[in-house]
Structures are given as structure tokens and as C-alpha cells.
Amino acid sequence: MFELGKNKIMLHRSLSSPITKNKMDEIYTIGSGMKALSDSLKNKKLIVKHFRTRKLLENFLGDYNSDNTVILVKGSRRMRMEDFVKIILTKAKK
């Protein structure tokens, strides 16, 4: 969503409605635009955590128990989300 320009913050916030309608349990975000989404989801009935750095998210994922969990990884190609997918897949194979 880097390509969104001046509407970036508003469009990131607009994701909160589909998230709450689809009854997701946990949302983890990274990036300046996703901080807006994270903030808009506060006080909803789900777990929301925003990570300031890639390293903090990597550490979190390394410790995260993803048994019986469906995980959606979404991000711009510039965010290199495949790095996080590798961590998740490595843990799932153990």
C-alpha cells in the first residue's frame, strides 16, 4: 500500500471494518500506514499489536504459538513480507 500516496493513512484505517466484520482474533502490524490501522482497532474485541521494527516482529513470530491457527500475511512487496513467512513456515515444520 506504499503506492497509495496521500490517501495512505485513510485507506489503511478503512481496513478495520472488514477485519471486525470477519471476526478475526488477532492482528499484528508493522509499518507507518499499518500503525493507523492498529490504532483504529484499539478497543475492539481482538488482540492488536503494532511492531515498530522488523526485528521486534521477527522475535515475536519466533516465540508465537501458531498451532491450529490460520495466518494471513499481507504487505507491499517493499515490506519483504516473505521474510516473515519463512519464520512462520520454519516454526510450523518443527
Average pLDDT of span 34-41: 93
pTM here is: 0.83
- At how many degrees (to 10) do helices 82-92 and 54-63 cross? 10
What pLDDT, in 10s, does the model give residues 41-85?
A: 988 889 999 999 999 999 999 999 888 888 989 887 888 999 999
First to last CA, the chain: 33
Please state the domain count of the chain: 1
Map residue 80 onto helix, strand or coil: coil
List the domain range (segments joined by +) for residue 43: 2-92
The Cα 85–Cα 93 span in angstroms is 12
Q: Which cell is 62 given?
A: 519466533
Q: For the chain, how many residues are written?
A: 94
